Amino acid sequence: MHPIKSLRPMSVTEAAITPRGGLAQDREFAIFDAGGKYVNAKRNDGVFSIEHEVDWTAGTITFWGDGNAKATFALTDAQSEVDAWLSNYFEQPVTLQRDTEGGFPDDPKRPGPTIISQATLDTVASWFPGLTSDDILTRFRANLVIDGVPAFWEDQLYGPDESTSVTFQIGEVIFEGVNPCQRCTVPPRDPETGEPYPHFSETFRERREATLPDWAPLSRFNHYWRLAVNTCVPTSEVGKIVRVGDPVVIVKLAY
């Protein structure tokens, strides 16, 4: 998960479903500029070199990077101090905002966790010499990784049009798969340096089209710059826990 939207990920073994259907602590924070826009890798290269650590138990957040020494702040009462540190780092006025009810999802209309399979990560990595499966996961920033299934297995978790969905269950939690996730301009860039991988998006689109499985509804691909699956989570699932090792079962197909 990504405690701060657009910044580095962290691994967890379990997460609860929030009131709006996301994962607790995922994108719970976001950095905004003075115009109310996200500070992200599309707008500010400083995102690539900033480091952070959230200690949920201690209730602290620590930032460092690009020659700046570590600075630790309390999550509850250090708003002005953390904003000042971040504003100095990004060289513009910014604020760190928090939303514990559902965070700041990439797709507000489909705020559930994004799903991808380990085999998909392995396959996509094979298209790009020098990159690993972990590199691909970091670039595409999916939330939940499903093991023990074929590459692009997740492409059966949505229906042939936007009015349909596929119901599936991970452990005790019900999900609705709704859309093959449309990607932004960031994945071609190295998450640590910001350097672009040559011809990344062109290669991806060509290989994605060539390897699209039969179970993927072609009608959902107006272009092939799509990877992972967007989800929604019914309100009945709020508070339930998703855990590493939970079984995954498709409950109801869309057709």
- Tell me, what's the pLDDT at 76? 80
The list of the chain residues with pLDDT below 50 reads: none
Give the domain ranges of the chain: 29-98, 115-252
Q: How far is CA 6 from CA 12, 48, 54, 109, in A?
A: 17, 9, 14, 18
Task: Give 131-135's long-range contacts (Cβ < 8 A, gap of 24+).
Answer: 131/197, 135/191
pTM of the complete model: 0.94
- Tell me, what's the pLDDT at 77? 67
- Tell me, what's the pLDDT at 67? 87
Bridge partner list, 182: 226
Q: How far is CA 29 from CA 25, 73, 74, 221, in A?
A: 8, 14, 14, 31
Bridge partner list, 173: 170
Contacts of 181 (CB under 8 A, 6+ apart): 107, 114, 142, 226, 227, 228, 229, 230
